[in-house]
Structure 1
């Protein structure tokens, strides 16, 4: 896969021999997209290709490739339970079954990342409680922040 957004992540893996690159094949990514009837943003595909089966990148968040279908189902159920009518999103990580990281599939090839909590702990721009908020302006920014945190440990 030709990298456009996550070249820095690839460089970290190739330059640091202590870190193993455990990615997902382009075929497996395509199969999941077909199964879920969606198309992932390019930046997320690159992430899966480079580190889709690597643990620890997002700390304790569950985001392994083989769990993604279940994570998406849990997020849809949780969003529906609180009355959020969100559509066209993909939840790529979960924590405790009531917290999710997601992006909207219609926000480009390097979409913003949002954090959701069923306990409504986030605040909107007016300071009111909200179920979710934008955490980073792009998937690349989000991943680089987490990579920096993991490497500095």
Structure 2
């Protein structure tokens, strides 16, 4: 499969895989992931998984976006939302149609809403406070701005 949504990454694949390897997952593994999370994943994210699903190299190194982190990302977001020493018991939950694909330092979680049915969906942030913010207009812009641009800057 060739890149479509993430075509801008093609000239940088050697740089992205310079220090850490790049490894995607198969279409069958993506289908398994959709069944496990009971969602239909957007095409741009599927493309990301095909090239970076197991090992993302230098791309988004601190965002925990590889598939090995997906099961715990949702549970960690729920724990972060419900953490409050003064009030026992659960206080917040996460919409089941939100697919949490990454996190930053355990208090910022990145997701898209699978009910929106975009091929290249907007990326939202869920903060541990429960606040939801539209972060990027598309998954591909998230990959370019948060993933690729820092690698390019660091390599200068």
1:83 corresponds to: 92
The answer on whether the counterparts of 2:122 and 2:138 sit within 8 Å (CA) in structure 1 is yes
- Unpaired runs of 5+ residues, structure 2, are 83-89
1:5 corresponds to: 5
What TM-score, normalized to structure 1?
0.78
2:85 corresponds to: none
Greater RCO, CA 8 A, separation 6+: 2
SS in structure 1 opposite 2:56? Answer: coil
What TM-score, normalized to structure 2?
0.76
CA deviations 1:30-57 (Å, max 9, x no partner) are 1111122211100000011111222442
> How many angstroms apart in 2 are the aligned matches of 1:40 and 1:85?
17
Distance 1:3 1:30, change over 3 A: same
SS in structure 2 opposite 1:106? Answer: helix
| CA-based RMSD | 2.6
Cα distance, 1:79 vs structure 2 = 5.2
Comparing 41-50 with 57-66, which one deviates more in the overlay? 57-66
Distance 1:40 1:57, change over 3 A: same
> How many angstroms apart in 1 are the aligned matches of 2:46 and 2:38?
15
User: 1:70-149 to 2 correspondence within 5 Å?
Assistant: 70-76=72-78, 78=80, 81-83=90-92, 86-107=95-116, 108-119=118-129, 131-145=131-145, 146-149=147-150
The answer on whether the counterparts of 1:10 and 1:50 sit within 8 Å (CA) in structure 2 is no
The answer on whether the counterparts of 1:43 and 1:140 sit within 8 Å (CA) in structure 2 is yes
- Unpaired runs of 5+ residues, structure 1, are 121-130
User: Deviation above 4 Å: which 4+ runs of structure 1?
Assistant: 14-17, 76-82
